[in-house]
C-alpha cells in the first residue's frame, strides 16, 4: 500500500474521533523538508505523524524534524497504520504533562 493511501486512512479514522482534528501536510514551495505527513490535535494536544510503508525507513532529516516537534511539546509518531497511533494518542487524556483531560 502506498504512503498516500495510508495517510488517507489514518486521517479519516482520526477525524471520526471526538475532540480530534487531523490534516495531511501537502508538500509545496513553502513546505519544510522532512516535516511529518500528518498534523493534528487530540483533546488539545498537538501530534504529528510520519507515515511509512511496512518496509519504509525514516531519513536523517525526518528523524531531526520529529525530534524538533517533540522538543516543542508535540507527540511525534511514526506509523504504518492506526495500531501505532492508537497506542500513542490515547494516552493524551490522562498522561500529558499530568493535566486532567476530558474523556470520550
Question: 49-74: per-residue pLDDT in tens?
Answer: 999 988 989 999 999 999 999 889 89
- Which range marks the domain in which residue 94 is found? 3-98
Residue 103 lies in a domain: no
Using the predicted structure, report yes or no on whether residue 103 has a pLDDT greater than 70.
no
Q: What is the CATH number of the domain that holds 70?
A: 3.40.1350.10
Residue 57 lies in a domain: yes
Query: Which of 23-27, 29-33, 50-54 is predicted most confidently?
Result: 50-54
Residue 60 lies in a domain: yes
Residue 104 lies in a domain: no
Mean pLDDT of 13-31: 88
Residue 59 lies in a domain: yes
Average pLDDT of every residue of the chain = 83
CB 24 within 8 A of CB 36: no
Residue at grid coordinates 493511501:
5
Judged by phi (left if over 0) then psi (alpha if -120 to 50, else beta), residue 98 lies in: left
**Count of domains for the chain:** 1
Amino acid at each position: 500500500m502506498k504512503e498516500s493511501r495510508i495517510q488517507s486512512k489514518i486521517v479519516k479514522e482520526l477525524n471520526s474521533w471526538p475532540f480530534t482534528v487531523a490534516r495531511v501536510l501537502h508538500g509545496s514551495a513553502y513546505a519544510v523538508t522532512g516535516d511529518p505527513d500528518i498534523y493534528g490535535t487530540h483533546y488539545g494536544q498537538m501530534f504529528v505523524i510520519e507515515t511509512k510503508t511496512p518496509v519504509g525507513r525514516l531519513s536523517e532529516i525526518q528523524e531531526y524534524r520529529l525530534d524538533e516537534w517533540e522538543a516543542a511539546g508535540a507527540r511525534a509518531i511514526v506509523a504504518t497504520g492506526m495500531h501505532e497511533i492508537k497506542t500513542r494518542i490515547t494516552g493524551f487524556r490522562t498522561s500529558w504533562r499530568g493535566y486532567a483531560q476530558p474523556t470520550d
